[in-house]
Amino acid sequence: MKQSESPAELGARERFEVVVEPLLPRLHRFCLALCRSRQEAEDLLQDSLVRAFLNWDSRDSGSWLGWLCGIARHQFLENRRTQARRRSLLDSVLEGASSVLGSLFEGGTEQPDPEARLCGAEEAELVLACLHALPEKFRLVVLLCDVEDLDYEEVARVLALPLGTVKSRHSRGRARLGVLFTAASSRQAQTVSEGGRP
Amino acid sequence: MSTEDEGRPPPLPDEVRAALEALRGEKPSPHLRARLQAALIRAEHSRGREPTQSPSPRALSHHPAARVLVGAALAGAVALLLLARGDESGPLSPELLPAREVAFRLPGDGAGWLELPWAHGVHSGEPATVWLETPPPLDFHPRLRDAPSLAKVDCDEARCVHEFTARTGAAATPLRVRIDKPGRYEFRVSHASDVRHVQEHFVVVADQAGPP
């Protein structure tokens, strides 16, 4: 059995997979930062990849990661709009109320679901929860700059924002993240020292 | 954004920096990778049904050597994926097992059931999601109680892809395929659990039992 062909000899899907495979972890983290649950993030990642594959021919000359993150974000917004159309006003009110009450009981930081708590390292889960507590406009900039190490120009392209806005949001997002993380770590340490579960 | 600060971002505290570094270790599970690959295969098939300038799968599939070439290309792609993964690869990354040839003797009355010797043991008894690619002249008929979540993912002239959840370990779900003619048949089995993700390739050579 032949074990390796040059990329030019592969089919479209195989070539797409070869390019996308090394970027999957980063795109996965981007989806995790966007979504409130792992399940939603996985669905988003799948939908985004399929959409990217089907529109591969129309890709511009920017980086692959930037292009894929842009697709994931558009898909996410589209999903949200679809959900919003389906949701009744009453549902929205109930959900909003429970979310506020939940945040109050949890000290203002949304807790990851039990599966998430088991799956990842505690530190990563904690910082992800803190990222989720940031408004989205700060969250994505901090993720792309500080986790994915994209430069400001690339982040501006991915999020379709002016360069100055990206820099500003990075500063403010970092500052807020630092405060949230310190507070969450203290709460966690306090809970552990009292003999409870974090 | 009226108070936007154009200066440098504030430095991250060490503990936040360490936590963000830990977040970089977050990767898609083997199960998710397999699910993504299956979705891309479905998308490819749905796109393949639209008119294109490339040779049609129908034309290719009618050529006797076509399946071998398609198989080699797929195997090459998987090998490239494994090579290209580099530092991203971990113990849970997809593993390509060497192709195995399986000899099968058809019974005297024609059709027979062959059980593919898939490596279910790698999953340590954990349930696995299985994607089985079969050449379309062949049917894949696991009994329903063996694979209650059986779902045909997609089918075209070149191959069919079936997806289902299987038991592994001592009570593993048997992967049985029905073969009714002598010939050479290729099967690809991708199975993923929380423990491992393995891709296997079986080449079945079926011949007819001689007269008694």
CA angle in degrees (0–180, nearest 5) for A37-A39-A42: 110
- Strand, helix or coil for residue A170: helix
The closest of B47, B14, B100, B162 to A16, measured between CA atoms, is: B47
Record: contact B10-A178, CB cut-off 8 A: yes
Q: From CA A20, how far away is CA B5, in angstroms rounded?
A: 36
The residue among B12, B32, B80 with the most chain A CBs within 10 A of its CB, best to mutate, is: B80
Instruction: Give pLDDT, residue A91.
Output: 54
H helices then E strands: how many in chain A?
10, 0
pLDDT for B71 equals 43
B106 residue type, one letter: L
Q: Is 70 exceeded by the pLDDT of residue B31?
A: yes
Residues of B in contact with A164 (CB under 8 A): 4, 6
Q: Could you tell me how many residues make up chain A?
A: 198
The residue in chain B having the minimum alpha-carbon distance to the alpha carbon of residue A175 is: B10
Neighbouring CB atoms inside 10 A of B183's CB total 14
Structurally, at CATH architecture level, domain A91-193 sits in Orthogonal Bundle (1.10)
Percentage of residues in chain B having pLDDT higher than 70: 61
Q: What is the pLDDT of residue A61?
A: 72
**pLDDT at res. A12:** 81
Which single residue is written with the structure tokens 């594959």?
Answer: A53
Quickly list H helices, chain B. 14-23, 30-48, 57-61, 66-85
Contact A146 B12 (CB under 8 A): yes
Dist. CA B205–CA B200, nearest whole Å: 16
| Residue indicated by tokens 């479209």 | A12
Q: Does B5 touch chain A (CB under 8 A)?
A: yes
Q: What is the pLDDT, as a whole number, of residue A196?
A: 52
Distance from CA of B11 to the nearest CA of A (A): 8
| Distance (Å, whole) CA B110 – CA B108 | 6
Q: Which residues pair with B205 in a beta bridge?
A: B103, B184
Check A17 against B40: CB less than 8 A apart: yes
Return d(Cα A125, Cα A76) in angstroms, integer. Answer: 21
Which pLDDT value is given to residue A52?
94
Q: Which residue has the higher pLDDT, B69 or A143?
A: A143
Residue-level pLDDT at B141: 59
Alpha carbons B125 and B176: distance in angstroms, whole number: 19
Q: Do A53 and B44 touch (CB under 8 A)?
A: yes
Q: What ranges do the domains of chain B cover?
A: 29-45+58-208
Summarize pLDDT for B170-198 with one digit per residue, the tens: 888 888 888 888 888 888 888 888 878 88
Q: Are B142 and B114 in contact (CB under 8 A)?
A: no
For the sheet with B175-179, list strands across it: B112-116, B175-179, B139-140
Q: Which residues contact B65 (CB under 8 A, 6 or more apart)?
A: none
Rounded Cα distance between A196 and A189, Å, is 10
Q: Do B4 and A164 touch (CB under 8 A)?
A: yes
Q: For chain A, which residues score pLDDT lower than 70?
A: 1-10, 84-121, 191-198
Mean pLDDT value of segment B156-173: 78
Q: How far is B20 from chain A (nearest CA, A)?
A: 6
pLDDT in the model for residue A32: 92
CATH architecture group of domain A1-86: Orthogonal Bundle (1.10)
pLDDT higher than 50, residue B77? no
CA neighbor of A26 nearest in space, from A144, A155, A161, A151:
A144
Tell me whether residues B12 and A178 touch, CB distance under 8 A: yes
ipTM more than 0.85? no
**DSSP state, residue A88:** -
Amino acid at B178: R
Predicted local distance difference test score (pLDDT) of residue A111? 44
Chain B CB contacts of A11 under 8 Å are 44, 73, 77
Partner-chain residue, chosen from A10, A25, A170, that has the shortest CB–CB distance to B88: A25
Tokens of A93: 């009110």
Contacts of B1 in chain A (CB under 8 A): 165, 168-169
Per-residue pLDDT, averaged over B143-149, amounts to 50
Estimate to the nearest angstrom the gap between the alpha carbon of B37 and the chain centroid. Answer: 8
Given an 8 Å threshold on Cβ–Cβ distance, is B88 in contact with A4? no
Hey, is B104 helix, strand or coil?
strand
| Per-domain boundaries in chain A | 1-86, 91-193
Q: Are strands B175-179 and B151-155 parallel, antiparallel or unpaired?
A: unpaired
Average pLDDT, chain B: 70
Contacts of B159 (CB under 8 A, 6+ apart): B70, B133, B134, B135, B136
- Does the distance separating the beta carbons of A170 and B23 come in below 8 Å? no
| A182: exposed, middle or buried (Cβ count in 10 Å: 0-12, 13-18, 19+) | middle
